[in-house]
A and B are shown apart, each in its own frame.
Chain A
Amino acid sequence: MKTRGLKLAQQRDRTDQRAELLLGALASAVLLLIAFMIVFVFAKAWPSFAHNGLAWFGPGGNVNVQLEEIFASPGDPAAYNYTLHAWPLLYATALITGCAVALATIVSMLSAMFVVEFAPAWIASVLQPVIRLLAAVPSVIYGLIGILVLVPFFGNHVISSDQKESVQFVIQLDGSSILVGILVLTVMITPIMVAITVDALRSVPRNWTEGAAALGVNRFRALRTVGLRAARPAIVAAAILATARALGEAIMLSMVAGSVAFAPNPLDGVTFFFEPAKTFASSIVDGAEGLSVEPFGQTMYAFAAVLLISSAFLSFAGWYARRAMRKYTLAPR
């Protein structure tokens, strides 16, 4: 005979079980969604990779022309044109992302040292909301300022007409360039890196900072040798986060780095920085209208697949770096 208490208890158990199942189903639904995303994107992108093989990543021909030809493919699926050698895009993506992250890492480490150690109290308290503000500004506003202020400035006042002439048979220099792209991208990713680095420097155990001070090492040296060293795992994590953000930046770069897919030539000297380029992400945005046209759409999905692989690689790199850096933390192994 069930007592009332036992019945109530069983009811509660059932409600609880139902709730757990419901919430678990919700969580699994998101899991399934992301799994679908990965599978679908790769499935849609496969023909483009299959037709080109490894030459997909190699140089050869003008990417802009190739993309136009893909778009103008005849309607018959058997005759789709997939030819693409995306080296300029790969090169531009790596170049812009790499330079921006390198620059941002240096600036953020220096700014973090400033905020934590050298800034007077009122400047430090002003910098906190400033950094949060910079991180919150939408990328389209960065792009707007870039294209309406920086690009004309570089195009009219910095790039000399000699430089323009020197490359005029290959590419037009109008100010939209990787330099503006790198500079604005650096400004976009620095705030988040500064925030993480400041947190990490502030949580260096006082034991270490006092120990370094007691040895007669000056503030800057102590911060550089002990503080940054202890904060190294966090700095690496911040750099990886920033790289992911930079890779995916499509809108700002499409506004500022030019709409021509081009591989800037380091042999051009200083002019190298003034040459335009397109990355994978900005190419997808530029090709947004053509997404429903078959071989073109599949090529765009191929770009997205490359971005997904890079994100996955970055996550793995982050996990590996965290493991390798464990000897710098005080946590028990």
Chain B
Amino acid sequence: MDSLSDARGMDASRQLLAGAGQLAPPVRRIAPEAPPTVVAAPANGNGHTTTLGGLGQKLQRLPREDTTPLERMRTDRLSIAYGPKTAVNEVTLSVRQGEVLALIGPSGCGKTTLLRSLNRLVDLTPTAERGGRILLDGEDVDSFDVTHLRRRVGMLFQQPNPFPMSIFDNVAYGLRERGSKKPSRRALEPAVTEALRRAGLFEEVKDNLEHPALALSGGQQQRLCIARSLAVEPEVLLLDEPCSALDPISTTTIEETIVGLRGEVAIVIVTHNLQQAQRVADHVAFMYLGDLIEYGEVEQVFHAPVAERTREYVSGTFG
């Protein structure tokens, strides 16, 4: 291979890029004998670091306004078992409005089960048994109708699941399908518009409210599901890995929406992504094999974890 032609090739590409108005990124020399030279990527391209985070690294958190936390939900030594296997073991947690609680931990450790018990969705599984108590605004959740509970505690799923209807019908669904009087479309419009605005979707779909919801992109569908959940004005919002199926730009939009909502709605998010937990959360609960290992403010759990397990998980030793 002729090194001269290589050089000419490199120059040509550099000129091309320079001509396109962009700064040519440093190019790796392709000379077979030369040792490779690696250049570090530019820092702070979009405001978030690309380092792994964890022990000792500075946390990059999304900007947020100040709020006063108010306890909405509380679990009191909650245990859930599927037959002989215990999924959640005597967990006591507090869910507060004004902050985001992130549940982290490796797969299969009970995070999702715990989340799904908060709106009694585990009751849909026949083999599930629940022990301990869950309190919503001081009342035991078993003491009132489960459909009432689910209107006050909304949920977002990992896979966006808009119904096979139009966008408007999707958001209005929760408002229409309770009670015998069907509200007229006029009465619903302001609520639907407000919900779409809070979910950050209104600008994109305001002219297409009658289009089928299934025609939206993945990120838009997930935001539609957020709007749908917000339309019924819940007090608590449960998010089960909402961004794991989405591209980075949608993820960013949704994370910003979540942080913006925390003042009005108590938010619990289950996530596998430690960086996401750092960006979004105020409090973090680390679960391992059904036990609540550590619970605290995000700075403390990531920088100075008390339990050895937490330290290992957060630093990436296992996961």
Contacts and interface: CB of A to CB of B under 8 A. Distances in A.
A216 B164 contact: no
Contact of A213 (B121, B148, B163, B225): B121
B106 interface: no
A229 B165 contact: yes
B164 A213 contact: no
B157 A211 contact: yes
B161 interface: yes
Contact of B177 (A207, A225, A330): A225
Interface string A322-333: 000001111000
B178 A217 contact: yes
A207 B159 contact: yes
Contacts of B150: 213-216
Interface of B: 119, 121, 124, 147-152, 154-155, 157, 159, 161, 163-165, 173-174, 177-178, 212, 214, 225, 228-229, 232
Given A211-B157, A215-B150, A216-B151, 11 more contacts: A207-B159, A208-B161, A210-B157, A214-B119, A216-B150, A216-B178, A217-B177, A218-B147, A221-B177, A229-B165, A330-B164
A124 to B, nearest CB: 13
Chain A contact residues: helix, strand, loop or mixed = helix
B148 A215 contact: no
Nearest to A215: B174
A53 B47 CA distance: 81
A142 to B, nearest CB: 37
Interface in A183-237: 205, 207-208, 210-218, 221-222, 225-226, 229-230
Nearest to B126: A121
A293 to B, nearest CB: 56
A215 B154 contact: yes
A329 B151 CA distance: 27
Contacts of A215: 150-151, 154, 173-174, 177, 228-229, 232
Which are the 5 A-B pairs with shortest beta-carbon distances? A216-B151, A216-B150, A207-B161, A214-B155, A215-B174
Contacts of B152: 216
Interface residues of A, number: 22
B175 to A, nearest CB: 10
7 contacts: A212-B177, A214-B121, A214-B150, A216-B148, A229-B163, A229-B165, A327-B212
Contacts of A211: 157, 161, 163, 225
Nearest to A328: B164
Nearest to B154: A214
Contacts of B157: 207, 210-211, 214
A210 B228 contact: no
B164 A329 contact: yes
A129 B178 CA distance: 36
Contacts of A216: 147-152, 174, 178, 232
Given A215-B232, A216-B232, A221-B177, A327 B164 contact: yes
Contacts of A328: 164
A214 B161 CA distance: 11
B154 A213 contact: no
A68 to B, nearest CB: 56
Most interface-central of A213, A216, A328 (chain B CB within 10 A) = A216
B124 A212 contact: no
B13 to A, nearest CB: 38
B185 to A, nearest CB: 16
Given A217-B174, A327-B164, A327-B214, A210 B151 contact: no
A225 B173 contact: yes
Contacts of A221: 177-178
Contacts of B154: 214-215
Contacts of A213: 121, 124, 150
